């Protein structure tokens, strides 16, 4: 049974409240947002992506984590990315190892209800986190991956919209073929 969502919470109240919940909630500057369940397509894309990356980083100091890992994004924001990659040892805010502090790569798979949040609100928040070197947004309805990379002069974003495209995830020393990301997925026709 889920616990009723409070109107506004402090960070400490949110973290304590979230531990008692069966559902996942993100926290944005005092407001709590319940996460909707994901479609089969969303889950399959996330799984395909995670497997494709994990195979390539298996013998490195990197680790990929799934959507149950909450990431602290600034002092008053907590998100559950679809996938996160860490390098070396994971750092956590508390001993329960629920609030990851040092992702280097964050991946979100869009859904109709989250596409604007993923592309604007979360993107802006993720890009402020010093440890994050790359942010990848994958569309679940058409072949499209948007990769934002940190550079010495700021962030640059590149879109990949062909099934034979390969997304260079240099931050974790791997290549992500979109043909693997969308393997088994029925996509909408592009006009």
Q: In what order do the strands lie in the sheet with 77-79?
A: 31-34, 25-28, 77-79, 70-72, 99-100
Q: What is the share, in percent, of the chain residues with pLDDT greater than 70?
A: 92
The pLDDT confidence band at residue 20, using thresholds 50, 70 and 90, is confident
Same domain, 104 and 131: yes
Query: Does the residue 189 lie in any domain?
Result: no
Window from 4-13, 25-34, 147-156, 167-176 with minimum mean pLDDT: 4-13
Q: What residue numbers bound the domain in which 2 lies?
A: 1-35
Q: What was the pLDDT predicted at 189?
A: 54
Residue 6 near residue 32 (C-beta atoms within 8 A) = yes
Predicted TM-score (pTM) of the model is 0.83
Same domain, 31 and 92: no
Same domain, 27 and 88: no
Structural domain total, the chain = 2
**pLDDT tens across 30-64, in order?**
787 777 767 899 999 999 999 999 999 999 999 99
**pLDDT tens across 62-83, in order?**
999 998 898 999 888 889 899 9
């Amino acid at each position: 049974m889920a616990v009723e969502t409070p109107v506004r919470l402090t960070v400490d109240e949110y973290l304590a409240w979230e531990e008692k919940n069966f559902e996942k909630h993100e926290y944005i500057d005092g407001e709590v947002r319940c996460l909707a369940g994901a479609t089969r397509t969303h889950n399959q894309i996330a799984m395909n992506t995670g497997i494709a990356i994990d195979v390539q980083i298996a013998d490195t100091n990197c680790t990929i984590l799934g959507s149950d890992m909450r990431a602290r994004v600034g002092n008053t924001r907590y998100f559950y990315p679809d996938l996160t990659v860490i390098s070396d040892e994971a750092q956590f805010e508390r001993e329960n190892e629920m609030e990851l502090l040092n992702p280097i790569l964050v991946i979100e798979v869009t859904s109709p209800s989250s596409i604007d949040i993923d592309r604007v609100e979360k993107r802006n928040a993720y890009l402020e986190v010093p440890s994050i070197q790359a942010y990848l947004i994958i569309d679940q309805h058409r072949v499209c991956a948007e990769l934002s990379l940190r550079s010495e002069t700021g962030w640059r974003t590149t879109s990949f919209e062909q099934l034979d495209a390969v997304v260079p995830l240099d931050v974790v020393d791997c290549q992500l073929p979109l043909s693997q990301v969308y393997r088994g997925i029925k996509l909408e026709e592009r006009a």
